[in-house]
């Protein structure tokens, strides 16, 4: 699903009018792209429940969009061709549906939504709309993962039996400090984070999952004796490796903007931006392992660990004709032919510059292409819903200790 659409000449203008809702951290990568590629799109509207954040981005990138705190008003007054949704995960549904109902193309950041009910609301609107619904699974556009997918689907490895995927994340501290530490807003780490990797596994397996077992816990980011609520007040700050100094002096304009955007929340009465990772209230995990059986017989495992010393994602895929080992941080793939042991190495470093190894810019280009041509997006509502379904099943399994059976269509 995520069908081709007839695009009217009216919306297929070469210089697109773009609006963005949710102008926090992630929105920055879209704004940077369009500030560097102005012939591809013009930012005409920015919306955030704290409009000061939008104003800070507009100042940094020297653009003059109209600024709003309400999506519907932004869409009617700034008349964009496309809407990019960068609100927190639980708040994707409302702007996506509003955009689709107005036949405005939507690029919705991963994950589609935190519940299957919200996914269904987006799907109903997307099916009715004449506009594109693009689900922002940027990792599909990463050169290493894209090459892995080509190698797997070209049958060079023969018939695949197992896939191991591992994610190690040092910067995972964000998952214990912000909205994404609470299931209510991000679904928990199995959902807000692992949805990326479950989507990649679904894509590589070329099939939907049959069942999943997962185990997970919060091993490290647990309450610490004497830790204060905010880093700035904490007596442990001189020894704590996670001390978050929000009074730092920014080295450049981008850093200064990001700092002011972080502080804007607490200025408006929100949570402190240097909330302690340990004493913060949370219902998430910091490590877990999932085992997935796919309907075509492929078995997959996925390890998620955000207490790691280095940040990377790794894949190991075993096929009847060869074995593939990939490292996303190093941007390398090694394939070993099974019977000859001959090795073929791919070094994709040159192609992997920029956000998420060059994936972010490639995804935006692919979205614009889909908007202009009506071609089926690389990922849309079907892929979005499948990833949410596996993510929620992993969470349920690690909560209950049960194997969860999925009933997604093959």
Catalog residues that contact ligand NAD under the rule CB under 6 A.
21-26, 47-50, 53, 86-89, 91, 109-110, 136, 138, 179, 192, 356
**DSSP at 249:** P
Nearer to ligand NAD, 94 or 325 (CB): 94
Nearer to ligand NAD, 75 or 335 (CB): 75
Give min distance, CB of 394 to ligand NAD, in A.
Answer: 17
Nearer to ligand NAD, 5 or 48 (CB): 48
Give min distance, CB of 407 to ligand NAD, in A.
Answer: 26
Give min distance, CB of 99 to ligand NAD, in A.
Answer: 13
Cα gap 368→372, rounded to integer Å: 6
User: Which residue minimizes CB distance to ligand NAD?
Assistant: 24
| Dihedral over Cα of 185, 189, 190, 191: its sign | positive
| Dihedral over Cα of 319, 322, 325, 331: its sign | negative
Question: For residue 15, what are the contacts with CB-CB under 8 A and spacing of at least 6?
Answer: 39, 40, 41, 42
Cα gap 295→205, rounded to integer Å: 9
Nearer to ligand NAD, 11 or 352 (CB): 352
Give min distance, CB of 141 to ligand NAD, in A.
Answer: 10
Nearer to ligand NAD, 169 or 294 (CB): 169
Give min distance, CB of 6 to ligand NAD, in A.
Answer: 29
Nearer to ligand NAD, 84 or 348 (CB): 84
Give min distance, CB of 327 to ligand NAD, in A.
Answer: 18
Q: At what angle do helices 143-153 and 355-373 cross, to 10 degrees?
A: 70
Cα gap 180→261, rounded to integer Å: 17
Burial state string for 341-357 with b = 16 or more CB within 10 A and e = fewer than 16: eeeeebebeebbeebbb
């Amino acid at each position: 699903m995520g069908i081709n659409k007839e695009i009217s000449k009216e919306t297929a203008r070469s210089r697109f009018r773009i609006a963005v809702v949710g102008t926090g951290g992630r929105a920055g990568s879209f704004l940077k792209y369009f500030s560097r590629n102005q012939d591809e799109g013009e930012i005409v509207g920015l919306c955030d429940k704290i409009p000061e954040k939008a104003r800070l981005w507009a100042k940094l990138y020297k653009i003059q969009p109209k600024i709003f705190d309400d999506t519907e008003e932004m869409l009617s007054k700034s008349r964009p061709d496309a809407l990019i949704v960068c609100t927190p995960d639980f708040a994707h549904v409302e702007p996506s549906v509003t955009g689709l109902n107005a036949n405005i193309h939507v690029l919705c950041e991963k994950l589609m939504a935190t519940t299957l009910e919200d996914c269904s609301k987006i799907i109903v609107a997307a099916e009715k709309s004449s506009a594109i619904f693009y689900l922002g699974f940027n990792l599909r556009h990463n050169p290493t993962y894209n090459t892995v997918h080509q190698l797997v689907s070209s049958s060079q490895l023969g018939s695949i039996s197992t896939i191991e995927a591992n994610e190690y994340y040092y910067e995972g501290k964000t998952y214990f400090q912000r909205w994404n530490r609470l299931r209510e807003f991000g679904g928990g780490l199995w959902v807000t984070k692992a949805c990326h990797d479950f989507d990649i596994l679904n894509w590589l397996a070329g099939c939907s999952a049959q069942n999943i077992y997962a185990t997970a816990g919060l091993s490290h980011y647990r309450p610490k004796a004497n830790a204060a609520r905010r880093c700035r007040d904490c007596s442990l700050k001189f020894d704590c490796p996670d001390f978050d100094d929000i009074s730092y002096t920014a080295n450049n304009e981008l850093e200064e903007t990001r700092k002011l955007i972080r502080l804007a929340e607490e200025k408006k009465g929100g949570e402190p931006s240097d909330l302690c990772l340990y004493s913060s209230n949370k219902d998430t995990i910091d490590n877990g392992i999932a085992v997935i059986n796919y309907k075509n017989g492929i078995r997959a495992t996925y390890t998620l660990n955000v207490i790691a010393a280095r940040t990377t994602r790794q894949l190991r895929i075993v096929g009847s004709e060869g074995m593939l080992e990939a490292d996303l941080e190093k941007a390398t793939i090694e394939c070993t032919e099974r019977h000859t042991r001959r090795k073929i190495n791919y070094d994709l470093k040159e192609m992997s510059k920029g956000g998420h190894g060059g994936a972010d810019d490639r995804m935006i280009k692919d979205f614009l292409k889909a908007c202009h041509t009506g071609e089926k997006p690389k990922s849309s509502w079907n892929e979005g819903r499948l990833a949410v379904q596996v993510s929620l099943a992993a969470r349920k399994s690690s909560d209950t200790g049960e194997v969860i059976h999925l009933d997604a269509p093959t």
